[in-house]
């Protein structure tokens, strides 16, 4: 079995291209222009090395750690949304339902769509939340939302940069 130097996936010894990312295994294979995606691994010479969509790119193995960080950020948002709802309703603050919905929607889009825009909106929301907490209650609150926002923004921008570099190849 050959191991790809680009993505680390294993392919048959007879393969000229990596079956995961399409990286050529030899100099002569690099000169072959692949025509289409292979239906099975036995036709590795015609494997298309470029993915077609951003979703396919995000599913590549090298993007797994960054996607996992975005998933964690989304889960942080869910936890913050739940805490906001429970504490708000326990204290009679029914406006906390709005905060709950904002955090839930932003968390869903960050977690499921890897949205850079929602990551930025979460950061803005977190800063506004901290400012309001300092002014109204003279307490630093909302630090968990800030943590989720920092992870979400850095990971979303990292994925976006990797996608742009991949497209430029």
User: Could you read off the pLDDT tens digit of each residue along the chain, which spans 169 residues?
Assistant: 778 877 778 777 777 777 777 777 765 444 444 444 444 455 444 444 466 688 888 888 888 899 999 999 999 999 999 999 999 999 998 889 999 999 999 999 999 999 999 999 999 999 999 999 899 889 888 888 999 999 999 999 999 998 888 888 7
Task: Let me know whether 88 and 62 are in one domain.
Answer: yes
Q: Write out the residue range of the structural domain in which residue 65 sits.
A: 58-168
Q: Are residues 73 and 45 in the same domain?
A: no
Residues 43 and 73 in one domain: no
My answer on whether 69 and 137 are in the same domain is yes
pTM above 0.85, yes or no: no
Q: 48 exposed, middle or buried (CB, 10 Å; 0-12, 13-18, 19+)? A: middle
Q: Tell me: do 72 and 131 sit in the same domain.
A: yes
Element (H, E) at 2: strand 2-3
Same domain assignment for residues 90 and 121: yes
Q: Are residues 64 and 23 in the same domain?
A: no
């Amino acid at each position: 079995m050959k191991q790809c130097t680009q993505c680390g996936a294993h392919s048959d010894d007879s393969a000229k291209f990596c079956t995961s990312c399409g990286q050529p295994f030899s100099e002569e294979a690099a000169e072959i222009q692949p025509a289409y995606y292979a239906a099975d691994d036995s036709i590795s010479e015609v494997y298309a090395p470029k993915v077609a969509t951003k979703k396919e790119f995000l599913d590549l193995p090298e993007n797994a750690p960054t996607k996992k960080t975005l998933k964690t950020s989304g889960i942080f948002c869910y936890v913050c949304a739940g805490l906001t709802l429970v504490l708000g309703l326990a204290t009679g603050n029914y406006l906390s339902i709005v905060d709950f919905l904002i955090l839930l929607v932003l968390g869903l889009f960050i977690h499921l769509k890897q949205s850079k825009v929602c990551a930025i909106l979460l950061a803005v929301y977190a800063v506004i939340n901290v400012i309001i907490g300092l002014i109204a209650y003279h307490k630093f609150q909302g630090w968990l939302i800030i943590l989720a926002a920092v992870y979400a923004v850095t990971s979303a921008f990292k994925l976006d940069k990797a996608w742009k570099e991949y497209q430029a190849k």
